[in-house]
Protein backbone atom coordinates (compact mmCIF):
# COMPACT_ATOMS: atom_id res chain seq x y z
CA UNK A 1 0.00 0.00 0.00
CA UNK A 2 1.92 2.97 -1.35
CA UNK A 3 1.72 6.67 -0.47
CA UNK A 4 2.32 8.64 -3.67
CA UNK A 5 1.12 12.10 -2.70
CA UNK A 6 0.55 13.97 0.57
CA UNK A 7 -3.05 14.97 1.23
CA UNK A 8 -5.58 15.69 3.95
CA UNK A 9 -7.58 12.64 4.93
CA UNK A 10 -10.87 14.61 5.09
CA UNK A 11 -10.43 15.42 1.40
CA UNK A 12 -8.95 12.11 0.28
CA UNK A 13 -9.91 9.10 2.43
CA UNK A 14 -7.84 6.74 0.23
CA UNK A 15 -4.30 8.16 0.33
CA UNK A 16 -2.65 4.75 -0.12
CA UNK A 17 -2.80 2.79 -3.37
CA UNK A 18 -2.56 -1.00 -3.67
CA UNK A 19 0.48 -1.49 -5.90
CA UNK A 20 2.47 -4.48 -7.14
CA UNK A 21 6.22 -3.92 -6.76
CA UNK A 22 9.28 -6.17 -7.10
CA UNK A 23 10.61 -7.83 -3.93
CA UNK A 24 13.30 -5.63 -2.34
CA UNK A 25 16.86 -7.02 -2.29
CA UNK A 26 18.78 -6.80 1.02
CA UNK A 27 22.14 -4.97 1.09
CA UNK A 28 25.18 -6.69 2.64
CA UNK A 29 24.24 -5.69 6.21
CA UNK A 30 20.49 -6.14 5.75
CA UNK A 31 17.90 -8.87 6.09
CA UNK A 32 14.81 -9.33 3.92
CA UNK A 33 11.73 -9.81 6.09
CA UNK A 34 8.47 -11.34 4.89
CA UNK A 35 5.92 -9.24 6.76
CA UNK A 36 3.03 -10.91 8.58
CA UNK A 37 1.67 -7.99 10.63
CA UNK A 38 2.07 -4.22 10.74
CA UNK A 39 0.57 -1.89 13.32
CA UNK A 40 -1.23 1.30 12.28
CA UNK A 41 0.03 4.39 14.12
CA UNK A 42 -1.16 7.99 14.43
CA UNK A 43 2.23 9.02 13.03
CA UNK A 44 1.11 7.69 9.65
CA UNK A 45 -1.56 10.43 9.66
CA UNK A 46 1.16 13.01 10.40
CA UNK A 47 3.14 11.70 7.44
CA UNK A 48 0.23 11.57 5.01
CA UNK A 49 -0.97 15.05 6.02
CA UNK A 50 2.51 16.54 5.85
CA UNK A 51 3.22 17.34 9.52
CA UNK A 52 6.23 15.02 9.38
CA UNK A 53 6.44 14.43 5.64
CA UNK A 54 8.43 11.58 4.09
CA UNK A 55 11.49 13.08 2.34
CA UNK A 56 10.89 10.94 -0.78
CA UNK A 57 7.71 9.75 -2.47
CA UNK A 58 6.40 7.22 -3.21
CA UNK A 59 6.95 5.47 0.12
CA UNK A 60 5.43 2.60 2.06
CA UNK A 61 4.43 3.62 5.59
CA UNK A 62 4.39 1.47 8.72
CA UNK A 63 6.85 1.09 11.57
CA UNK A 64 5.43 -1.70 13.77
CA UNK A 65 6.43 -4.60 11.62
CA UNK A 66 6.58 -8.30 12.46
CA UNK A 67 7.72 -10.99 10.06
CA UNK A 68 10.23 -13.70 9.30
CA UNK A 69 13.71 -13.49 7.83
CA UNK A 70 13.50 -14.69 4.25
CA UNK A 71 16.96 -13.71 2.90
CA UNK A 72 20.16 -12.16 4.26
CA UNK A 73 23.02 -9.99 3.00
CA UNK A 74 26.56 -11.46 2.99
CA UNK A 75 27.66 -9.49 6.09
CA UNK A 76 24.83 -10.54 8.42
CA UNK A 77 25.18 -12.96 11.32
CA UNK A 78 22.64 -12.10 14.03
CA UNK A 79 19.59 -13.83 12.57
CA UNK A 80 18.89 -17.03 10.64
CA UNK A 81 16.47 -17.62 7.78
CA UNK A 82 13.03 -18.18 9.31
CA UNK A 83 13.72 -16.22 12.53
CA UNK A 84 10.89 -14.01 13.69
CA UNK A 85 11.88 -10.35 13.94
CA UNK A 86 10.33 -6.97 14.56
CA UNK A 87 11.12 -3.63 12.95
CA UNK A 88 10.32 -0.45 14.87
CA UNK A 89 10.40 3.30 14.14
CA UNK A 90 14.19 3.38 14.39
CA UNK A 91 15.50 2.14 11.01
CA UNK A 92 19.02 3.47 11.59
CA UNK A 93 21.17 6.03 13.40
CA UNK A 94 24.80 7.04 12.74
CA UNK A 95 26.38 5.17 15.66
CA UNK A 96 29.15 7.81 16.02
CA UNK A 97 27.61 11.04 17.35
CA UNK A 98 27.47 11.95 21.06
CA UNK A 99 23.77 11.00 21.19
CA UNK A 100 24.37 7.55 19.69
CA UNK A 101 27.39 6.95 21.93
CA UNK A 102 25.41 7.86 25.06
CA UNK A 103 22.52 5.50 24.24
CA UNK A 104 20.22 8.26 23.01
CA UNK A 105 20.32 7.23 19.36
CA UNK A 106 16.71 8.40 19.17
CA UNK A 107 18.12 11.97 19.17
CA UNK A 108 20.76 11.31 16.46
CA UNK A 109 20.79 13.99 13.73
CA UNK A 110 21.00 11.14 11.18
CA UNK A 111 18.06 9.23 12.71
CA UNK A 112 16.16 7.45 9.93
CA UNK A 113 12.57 6.39 10.54
CA UNK A 114 11.00 3.21 9.19
CA UNK A 115 8.05 3.93 6.93
CA UNK A 116 8.98 7.60 6.50
CA UNK A 117 12.66 7.97 5.55
CA UNK A 118 12.84 4.38 4.24
CA UNK A 119 10.09 1.96 3.18
CA UNK A 120 8.04 0.45 6.00
CA UNK A 121 5.75 -2.47 6.66
CA UNK A 122 2.49 -1.69 4.83
CA UNK A 123 3.85 -4.28 2.43
CA UNK A 124 4.59 -7.96 1.98
CA UNK A 125 8.36 -7.45 2.28
CA UNK A 126 10.74 -5.04 4.01
CA UNK A 127 14.53 -4.81 4.24
CA UNK A 128 16.30 -3.59 7.39
CA UNK A 129 19.88 -3.45 8.66
CA UNK A 130 19.98 -6.52 10.88
CA UNK A 131 21.42 -4.55 13.83
CA UNK A 132 18.13 -2.61 13.87
CA UNK A 133 15.84 -5.66 13.82
CA UNK A 134 14.56 -7.01 17.13
CA UNK A 135 13.89 -10.56 18.29
CA UNK A 136 10.23 -11.05 19.29
CA UNK A 137 9.57 -12.97 22.55
CA UNK A 138 7.59 -16.19 22.16
CA UNK A 139 4.88 -14.89 24.46
CA UNK A 140 3.29 -12.98 21.57
CA UNK A 141 1.62 -13.86 18.31
CA UNK A 142 2.71 -11.77 15.32
CA UNK A 143 -0.44 -9.65 15.53
CA UNK A 144 -0.01 -9.07 19.26
CA UNK A 145 3.65 -8.10 18.91
CA UNK A 146 3.11 -5.45 16.21
CA UNK A 147 1.60 -2.62 18.31
CA UNK A 148 4.16 -3.23 21.03
CA UNK A 149 6.89 -2.09 18.66
CA UNK A 150 5.78 1.56 18.56
CA UNK A 151 2.93 2.31 20.91
CA UNK A 152 4.54 0.08 23.54
CA UNK A 153 8.14 1.18 23.05
CA UNK A 154 7.35 4.90 22.96
CA UNK A 155 5.02 4.44 25.92
CA UNK A 156 7.89 2.76 27.75
CA UNK A 157 10.22 5.65 26.94
CA UNK A 158 7.57 8.20 27.98
CA UNK A 159 7.07 6.42 31.27
CA UNK A 160 10.85 6.41 31.88
CA UNK A 161 10.92 10.17 31.24
CA UNK A 162 8.24 10.79 33.89
CA UNK A 163 10.62 9.46 36.61
CA UNK A 164 7.54 7.93 38.25
CA UNK A 165 8.11 6.26 41.63
CA UNK A 166 5.74 3.63 43.06
CA UNK A 167 3.02 5.24 45.14
CA UNK A 168 2.92 8.42 43.08
CA UNK A 169 0.08 9.60 40.88
CA UNK A 170 0.35 9.30 37.10
CA UNK A 171 -1.98 10.96 34.61
CA UNK A 172 -2.59 9.88 31.02
CA UNK A 173 -4.23 12.35 28.67
CA UNK A 174 -5.79 10.53 25.72
CA UNK A 175 -6.31 6.79 25.86
CA UNK A 176 -5.23 5.31 22.54
CA UNK A 177 -2.93 2.41 21.90
CA UNK A 178 0.16 3.83 23.63
CA UNK A 179 -1.67 4.99 26.77
CA UNK A 180 -3.47 1.68 27.27
CA UNK A 181 -0.12 -0.12 27.19
CA UNK A 182 1.34 2.39 29.66
CA UNK A 183 -1.55 1.69 32.02
CA UNK A 184 -0.77 -2.04 31.86
CA UNK A 185 2.93 -1.38 32.50
CA UNK A 186 2.19 0.88 35.46
CA UNK A 187 -0.19 -1.52 37.18
CA UNK A 188 2.55 -4.18 36.96
CA UNK A 189 5.64 -2.12 37.81
CA UNK A 190 4.13 0.39 40.21
CA UNK A 191 1.26 -1.43 41.93
CA UNK A 192 0.72 1.42 44.40
CA UNK A 193 0.59 4.17 41.80
CA UNK A 194 -2.80 5.69 41.05
CA UNK A 195 -3.50 6.28 37.37
CA UNK A 196 -5.78 9.13 36.32
CA UNK A 197 -7.12 8.97 32.77
CA UNK A 198 -8.28 12.07 30.91
CA UNK A 199 -10.19 11.10 27.78
CA UNK A 200 -12.92 12.75 25.79
CA UNK A 201 -14.80 9.61 24.76
CA UNK A 202 -16.94 7.71 27.22
CA UNK A 203 -15.86 4.45 25.55
CA UNK A 204 -12.23 5.22 26.20
CA UNK A 205 -12.98 6.05 29.82
CA UNK A 206 -14.88 2.79 30.31
CA UNK A 207 -12.04 0.89 28.66
CA UNK A 208 -9.56 2.58 31.02
CA UNK A 209 -11.61 1.68 34.09
CA UNK A 210 -11.81 -1.94 32.85
CA UNK A 211 -8.02 -1.94 32.75
CA UNK A 212 -7.66 -0.65 36.32
CA UNK A 213 -7.52 3.14 36.11
CA UNK A 214 -8.06 4.79 39.52
CA UNK A 215 -10.05 7.72 38.11
CA UNK A 216 -11.27 8.78 34.70
CA UNK A 217 -12.62 12.08 33.50
CA UNK A 218 -12.80 14.61 30.72
CA UNK A 219 -9.52 16.36 29.75
CA UNK A 220 -10.98 19.65 31.04
CA UNK A 221 -11.80 18.29 34.48
CA UNK A 222 -9.80 18.95 37.59
CA UNK A 223 -8.54 15.65 38.96
CA UNK A 224 -9.56 14.79 42.54
CA UNK A 225 -5.86 14.77 43.56
CA UNK A 226 -2.81 16.59 42.21
CA UNK A 227 -0.67 14.44 39.94
CA UNK A 228 3.11 13.89 39.98
CA UNK A 229 3.50 13.37 36.25
CA UNK A 230 1.25 13.25 33.23
CA UNK A 231 1.83 11.77 29.77
CA UNK A 232 -0.08 13.53 27.01
CA UNK A 233 -0.72 11.42 23.90
CA UNK A 234 -3.25 13.66 22.19
CA UNK A 235 -2.65 15.50 18.89
CA UNK A 236 -4.04 18.81 20.25
CA UNK A 237 -2.93 21.73 22.49
CA UNK A 238 -5.87 22.28 24.79
CA UNK A 239 -5.06 19.13 26.73
CA UNK A 240 -1.54 20.40 27.40
CA UNK A 241 -2.82 23.48 29.20
CA UNK A 242 -5.52 21.47 30.99
CA UNK A 243 -2.99 18.88 32.16
CA UNK A 244 -0.64 21.47 33.63
CA UNK A 245 -3.29 22.70 36.09
CA UNK A 246 -3.51 19.19 37.57
CA UNK A 247 0.24 18.80 38.18
CA UNK A 248 1.76 18.91 41.65
CA UNK A 249 4.52 21.46 42.35
CA UNK A 250 7.66 20.13 40.64
CA UNK A 251 5.49 17.88 38.46
CA UNK A 252 6.34 16.98 34.90
CA UNK A 253 4.26 16.79 31.76
CA UNK A 254 5.68 14.50 29.06
CA UNK A 255 4.26 15.11 25.60
CA UNK A 256 4.28 11.91 23.59
CA UNK A 257 3.40 13.23 20.14
CA UNK A 258 5.65 13.54 17.12
CA UNK A 259 3.68 16.59 15.99
CA UNK A 260 0.73 18.55 17.33
CA UNK A 261 -2.06 19.62 14.99
CA UNK A 262 -2.47 23.36 14.40
CA UNK A 263 -6.28 23.41 14.64
CA UNK A 264 -6.54 24.50 18.30
CA UNK A 265 -3.21 26.21 18.81
CA UNK A 266 -4.94 29.32 20.16
CA UNK A 267 -5.73 27.24 23.28
CA UNK A 268 -2.15 28.02 24.34
CA UNK A 269 -3.27 31.59 25.01
CA UNK A 270 -5.24 30.19 27.96
CA UNK A 271 -1.92 29.39 29.60
CA UNK A 272 -1.91 31.13 32.94
CA UNK A 273 1.59 31.19 34.40
CA UNK A 274 0.73 30.91 38.12
CA UNK A 275 -1.75 28.04 37.65
CA UNK A 276 -0.03 26.14 34.89
CA UNK A 277 3.75 26.60 35.06
CA UNK A 278 4.88 28.27 38.28
CA UNK A 279 6.04 26.04 41.16
CA UNK A 280 8.70 24.42 39.01
CA UNK A 281 6.39 22.50 36.74
CA UNK A 282 8.13 21.07 33.69
CA UNK A 283 7.16 20.19 30.12
CA UNK A 284 9.23 17.64 28.21
CA UNK A 285 8.64 15.91 24.91
CA UNK A 286 9.56 12.36 23.96
CA UNK A 287 11.21 11.87 20.58
CA UNK A 288 11.52 8.64 18.59
CA UNK A 289 12.77 5.46 20.25
CA UNK A 290 16.20 3.97 20.84
CA UNK A 291 16.74 0.27 20.15
CA UNK A 292 17.13 -0.25 23.90
CA UNK A 293 13.59 1.11 24.48
CA UNK A 294 12.16 -1.41 22.03
CA UNK A 295 14.11 -4.35 23.44
CA UNK A 296 13.65 -3.54 27.13
CA UNK A 297 9.97 -3.01 26.56
CA UNK A 298 9.51 -6.32 24.68
CA UNK A 299 11.14 -8.19 27.56
CA UNK A 300 8.95 -6.38 30.11
CA UNK A 301 5.83 -6.92 28.02
CA UNK A 302 6.50 -10.67 27.84
CA UNK A 303 7.13 -10.81 31.59
CA UNK A 304 3.90 -9.02 32.60
CA UNK A 305 2.56 -10.26 30.07
CA UNK A 306 1.00 -7.40 28.14
CA UNK A 307 -1.49 -8.54 25.53
CA UNK A 308 -2.62 -5.50 23.61
CA UNK A 309 -6.24 -5.16 22.58
CA UNK A 310 -6.24 -5.61 18.80
CA UNK A 311 -8.46 -4.64 15.93
CA UNK A 312 -7.43 -6.48 12.75
CA UNK A 313 -7.52 -5.21 9.19
CA UNK A 314 -6.31 -6.68 5.90
CA UNK A 315 -3.43 -4.92 4.13
CA UNK A 316 -5.86 -3.70 1.46
CA UNK A 317 -7.95 -2.11 4.23
CA UNK A 318 -5.11 0.18 5.38
CA UNK A 319 -6.95 3.31 4.23
CA UNK A 320 -10.02 2.35 6.25
CA UNK A 321 -7.88 1.77 9.36
CA UNK A 322 -6.28 5.20 8.93
CA UNK A 323 -9.62 6.97 8.48
CA UNK A 324 -10.96 5.31 11.64
CA UNK A 325 -7.85 6.40 13.50
CA UNK A 326 -8.32 9.95 12.25
CA UNK A 327 -11.93 9.87 13.49
CA UNK A 328 -10.63 8.51 16.81
CA UNK A 329 -12.59 5.28 16.52
CA UNK A 330 -10.20 3.55 18.86
CA UNK A 331 -10.45 0.55 21.05
CA UNK A 332 -6.96 -0.84 21.39
CA UNK A 333 -4.49 -1.03 18.54
CA UNK A 334 -5.20 -1.36 14.82
CA UNK A 335 -3.04 -3.95 13.05
CA UNK A 336 -2.81 -4.95 9.39
CA UNK A 337 -2.65 -8.70 8.97
CA UNK A 338 -0.59 -9.48 5.90
CA UNK A 339 -0.65 -12.80 4.02
ZN1 LIG B 1 4.19 4.85 15.80
ZN1 LIG C 1 24.15 9.37 15.80
Ligand 1 centre from 150 Cα, in Å? 5
Ligand 1 centre from 153 Cα, in Å? 9
Q: Do 141 and 200 touch, CB atoms closer than 8 A?
A: no
Q: Name, in order, each residue with C-beta under 8 angstroms of 44's C-beta and a sequence gap of 6 or more.
A: 61, 62, 115, 322, 325
Ligand 1 centre from 168 Cα, in Å? 28
Predicted TM-score of the model (pTM): 0.92
Ligand 2 centre from 92 Cα, in Å? 9
Which listed ligand is nearest to 104 at the C-alpha? 2
Ligand 1 centre from 146 Cα, in Å? 10
Which listed ligand is nearest to 101 at the C-alpha? 2
Ligand 2 centre from 190 Cα, in Å? 33
Ligand 2 centre from 256 Cα, in Å? 21
Ligand 2 centre from 284 Cα, in Å? 21
Q: pLDDT tens digits, the chain, 339 residues: what are they?
A: 999 999 999 999 999 999 999 999 999 999 999 999 999 998 999 999 999 999 999 999 999 999 999 999 999 999 999 999 999 999 999 999 999 999 999 999 999 999 999 999 999 999 999 999 999 999 999 999 999 999 899 999 999 999 999 999 999 999 987 898 899 999 999 999 999 999 999 989 999 999 999 999 999 999 999 999 999 999 899 999 999 999 999 999 999 988 898 899 999 999 999 999 999 999 999 999 999 999 999 999 999 998 888 999 999 999 999 999 998 777 678 999 997
Ligand 2 centre from 223 Cα, in Å? 41
Ligand 1 centre from 280 Cα, in Å? 31
Amino acid sequence: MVLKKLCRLEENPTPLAFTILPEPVPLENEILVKVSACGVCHTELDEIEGRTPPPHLPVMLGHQVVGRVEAKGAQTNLFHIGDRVGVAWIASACGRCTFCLSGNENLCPDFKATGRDVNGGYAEYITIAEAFAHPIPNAFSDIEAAPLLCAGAIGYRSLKLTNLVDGQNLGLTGFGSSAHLVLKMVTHRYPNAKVFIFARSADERTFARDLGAYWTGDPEERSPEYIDSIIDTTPVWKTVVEALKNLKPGGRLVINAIRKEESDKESLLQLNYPDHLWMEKEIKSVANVARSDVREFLVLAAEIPIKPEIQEFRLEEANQALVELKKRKIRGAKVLKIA
